[in-house]
Amino acid sequence: MIKINLGGIVPFSTIDWRGKAAMVIFLRGCPLRCMYCQNYNLLEGTHYVEMKELEEELIKNEAFIDAVVLSGGEPFMQPHAVEAIAHGAKKHSLFVAVQTNGFYSDIIKSTLKRNLIDKILLDLKAPLSDERLYESLTKVAGVAGRVKNTLDACIHAPKNIDLELVTTVFKNLVGSEEVKRIAKDIEEAGAAGCPYVIQQGRAEHVPDKAIKEDDMFSHEELKELAADAYHAADLKEVRIRTREDGEEVIYRRS
C-alpha cells in the first residue's frame, strides 16, 4: 500500500476549482523556498498515511463533491501519491486537479500521459524569461526553465486538459511590469486561451513577517494589474482572486 506524506485535508471547498465543489488534499514537501510561501509549514516534515485512509475520506464526502484538488507543498514531489489519489478519485467518478509550481516538468509530462488529471493550476511566479527574479523569489536556480517545460507539456498533453495560470503578486516583488511580461510569455507559449489569474498575496501568512500588509495589492489595484495583463497580450480571460471577494473574471474576449 502506498504511503502518502499528508499535509492536511479540506473536505469541502468551492474556491479552489472555479465552478466545482472539491476536496483539497495537501501533500508535504517542496523543492522551492519562496519567500512569501503561504503553506510554509508543509515544506518539510512527515505525516505518512496509507491510501486507504484517503479513500475513506473520499467515500465520506463523495455525495457533496465533484472533484479532488491536490495542493501542497508541491504535489509532484510525491508522484506515486498523485497517481494513487487520482486513481482513487476516478473510481468515484471525481475530477482531478493539481496545483503545481511546475518544477518537476518530466514527472508532470509523464503523469499527463496517463490521462488521470483533468486540470493543472500552474504557478507562474515571475516572467519565464527572468531566471534571476525566479531564483530570487524561490531561492533555487534553474526554476524558470523547468516551469517553461511544464507549461509546454500541459499545452501539448495527449489528453486535452484544463490549464489555469496563476501569479501571486506583492508590491516591490511582482507587480505591473512583471505581470505584463508574464502575459506576453503566456501568449508566446501558445497558452493565450487559458485563464490567467492574478492572485492577491496575503501578508499574514508569510513566515517571519518578511512581507508587510502595505505590500499587498488592494482589490482596485488588482483590477489595474488585470488591465495591464489584458492589454499587454491577446489573452482570452484575465481574473483576479482576493480574500474578500474570491475569484472574479475582469476581462474576457468574445
Per residue in 149-194, pLDDT (tens digit) is: 999 999 999 888 999 999 999 999 999 999 999 999 999 999 999 9
pLDDT on residue 254: 81
Position with higher pLDDT, 214 vs 65: 65
List, edge to edge, every strand of the sheet that includes 95-100. Answer: 48-50, 3-13, 22-27, 67-72, 95-100, 119-123, 162-169, 196-200, 237-242, 246-252
Residues sharing a CB contact under 8 Å with residue 1, sequence separation 6 or more, in sequence order: 50, 51, 52
Q: Over the chain, what is the mean pLDDT? A: 94
Contact call for residues 51 and 68 (beta carbons, < 8 A): no
Cβ burial, residue 89 (10 Å; 0-12/13-18/19+): buried
Of 78, 124, 68, the residue nearest 98 (C-alpha): 68
For the segment 84-100, the average pLDDT, to the nearest whole number, is 96
Give residue-wise pLDDT tens across range 203-234: 877 777 778 888 999 999 999 999 999 999 99
With 0-12 / 13-18 / 19 or more C-beta atoms within 10 angstroms meaning exposed / middle / buried, residue 80 is exposed
Percent of the chain at pLDDT > 90 equals 85
Specify which residues 100 forms β-bridges with. 122
Spatial CA neighbour of 150 closest among 194, 196, 111, 195: 111
Give the residue-averaged pLDDT of 22-28. 98
Which cell is 18 given?
472555479
CA dist 61 to 10, 19, 97, Å? 11, 18, 17
Residue type, 96: V
Q: Could you tell me the pTM of the whole model?
A: 0.95
| pLDDT, greater one: 211 or 17 | 17
